[in-house]
């Protein structure tokens, strides 16, 4: 049985999708972008600030569903410019100091709202 996860501590979906879906002990978090849930706007700054907001949004969804960053098993990071990889990676790594999840990172032509990074996440209990 699937359960839809939604929290006001992360940005509302901007399309026909859920913030996250839980099924059979697995949590699938939709790609998160650097929207501040309080303002509904993309955060100011560059890749460092945007990645920090993305990770905060992921953390809020994890908490709402009763998970932690240590439960994350896979992430997919989408970057608008691969030159931002090192700075994105530095922020991302702070959230996974031990036993980091499997991950893929891609440069893509364009991301929603012109953001610099989007990260989707899968967690398991």
User: Above pLDDT 70, what percent of the chain?
Assistant: 100
Q: What is the pLDDT of residues 36-92, one digit of tens each?
A: 999 999 999 999 999 999 999 999 999 999 999 999 999 999 999 999 999 999 999
> CATH assignment of 2-124?
3.30.1330.40
Residue 118 CA to residue 32 CA, distance in Å, equals 5
Given a contact cutoff of 8 angstroms between Cβ atoms, the answer to whether 78 and 41 are in contact is no
pTM (2 d.p.):
0.96
Residue 106, burial from CB neighbour count under 10 angstroms (0-12, 13-18, 19+): exposed
User: What's the pLDDT at 8?
Assistant: 96
Given a contact cutoff of 8 angstroms between Cβ atoms, the answer to whether 120 and 31 are in contact is yes
Q: What is the pLDDT of residues 7-21, one digit of tens each?
A: 999 999 888 999 999
User: What's the pLDDT at 110?
Assistant: 94
Per the document, the length of the chain is: 125
């Amino acid at each position: 049985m699937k359960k839809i996860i939604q929290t006001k501590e992360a940005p509302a979906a901007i399309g026909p999708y859920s913030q996250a879906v839980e099924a059979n002990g697995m949590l699938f978090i939709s790609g998160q972008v650097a929207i501040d849930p309080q303002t509904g706007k993309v955060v100011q700054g560059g890749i460092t600030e945007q990645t920090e907001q993305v990770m905060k949004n992921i953390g809020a969804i994890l908490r709402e569903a009763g998970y932690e960053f240590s439960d994350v098993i896979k992430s997919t990071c989408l970057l608008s410019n691969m030159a931002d990889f090192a700075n994105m990676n530095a922020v991302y790594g702070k959230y996974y100091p031990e036993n980091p999840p499997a991950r893929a990172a891609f440069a893509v032509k364009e991301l929603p709202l012109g953001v610099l990074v989007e990260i989707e996440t899968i967690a398991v209990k």
